[in-house]
Amino acid sequence: MAFLQILFLTSLSLFFTPSHSQLSLDYYKQKCPAFEQTIRDTITNKQITSPTTAAATLRLFFHDCLTNGCDASILISSTPFNSAERDADINLSLPGDAFDVIVRAKTALELTCPNTVSCADILAVATRDLVTMVGGPYYNVLLGRRDGLVSKSNYVEGKLPRPTMPMSQIINIFKSNGFSIQEMVALSGAHTIGFSHCKEFSSGIYNFSKISQYDREYNPRFAQGLQQACKDFTKNPTLSVFNDIMTPNKFDNMYFQNLPKGLGLLRSDHGLYNDPNTKQFVEMYAADQNKFFQAFAKAMEKLSVYKVQTGRQGEIRHRCDAFN
């Protein structure tokens, strides 16, 4: 009887084992030895020709993982019968270069290792390698994810932070996904690369109040520069500005150094420095890049296994934009 009880409890523990415990660093060592080199070659070529690819892919990865776990559901294209995640309002501005680099990597891997590598694993590793390529920290990425079987645009709202949200709401979104305030601030450091469209911060630089044209959180010269850079944004919605105007193509801690100087671009950037819950971490990372890199790497390792699917929970797609 005791043996049966132990067997039953062991079975239960196996049943409730988190999916990410089935992942491993060397998952493709035997199955697809060319996996890492193929991704490295693909992202290198893409980043050289399109320098915004690193930031674009990092953002794509965030939007995938925070919505329903890291399952590459963001890559699915809509059909007449289904409106997919990528067509949710908040995802419409995701850059095409990010989707393109994953498609290129998947195409190359299908030639060398057919039906072996998931799009979710490609996205996770391509993100890490691109971050490293532009100067960011290296971190481990466990492998063996399966691609999700569901992608619906109406699942997205409320799961991703918007730059216009108050900091308390952004904190709650991360907390509901199991991330601490410090982890949230570290992940926000991704804004050290990439750009934002003018429409995302236009309310802070034009006709802000009766007293001032722009939000006083901005450095005055910076606000005036933004007004000039974005003056035609209503006619040209693609107009954008680098998130970090000092070192826009280098992954470093300059983003955090900019915030106390009024050089944050978005309302959420100003919020990070002004909210007492987050300010201490902004100041810590502004003063010490190593601490930022360590925290970012640790938070990315955690994010990359968030609600992953393994085994029979998902599939390995033949192409990343469509279910099998």
3-state helix, strand, coil in the chain (%, to 5): 55, 5, 40
- The reply, when asked if residue 132 is annotated as ligand binding, is no
Q: What b/e string do you get for 109-121 counting C-beta neighbours within 10 Å, with b at 16 or more?
A: beeebeeebbbbb
C-alpha 241/C-alpha 163 separation (Å) is: 14
- The reply, when asked if residue 247 is annotated as ligand binding, is yes
- The reply, when asked if residue 64 is annotated as ligand binding, is yes
- Which residues, listed in sequence order, are joined to residue 127 by a DSSP beta bridge? none
Please give the structure tokens belonging to residue 64: 């995938």
- The reply, when asked if residue 136 is annotated as ligand binding, is no
Please give the structure tokens belonging to residue 36: 């890492």
- The reply, when asked if residue 49 is annotated as ligand binding, is no
Q: Could you give the maximum distance between any two Cα atoms of the chain, in Å? A: 79
- The reply, when asked if residue 244 is annotated as ligand binding, is yes
Identify which of 156, 159, 164, 155 has the alpha carbon closest to the alpha carbon of residue 197. Answer: 164
Residue with tokens 């085994």: 311
Give catalytic status of residue 270 as yes or no.
no
User: Which of 20, 63, 197, 270 is flagged as catalytic?
Assistant: 63
Identify which of 231, 232, 219 has the alpha carbon closest to the alpha carbon of residue 265. Answer: 219
Contact status, residue 95 vs residue 47, Cβ threshold 8 Å: no
Residues in the chain: 324
C-alpha 82/C-alpha 286 separation (Å) is: 44
For residue 140, count other CB atoms closer than 10 A to its CB. 11
Would the CA dihedral through 107, 113, 119, 120 be positive or negative? Answer: negative
The HSE-up count of residue 249 (CA atoms within 13 Å, CB side) is 6
C-alpha 36/C-alpha 30 separation (Å) is: 12
- The reply, when asked if residue 191 is annotated as ligand binding, is yes
Annotated binding site: 64, 69, 71, 73, 85, 161, 191-192, 244, 247, 252
Annotated binding site for heme b: 191
Annotated binding site for substrate: 161
Annotated binding site for Ca(2+): 64, 69, 71, 73, 85, 192, 244, 247, 252
Question: Catalytic positions, please?
Answer: 63
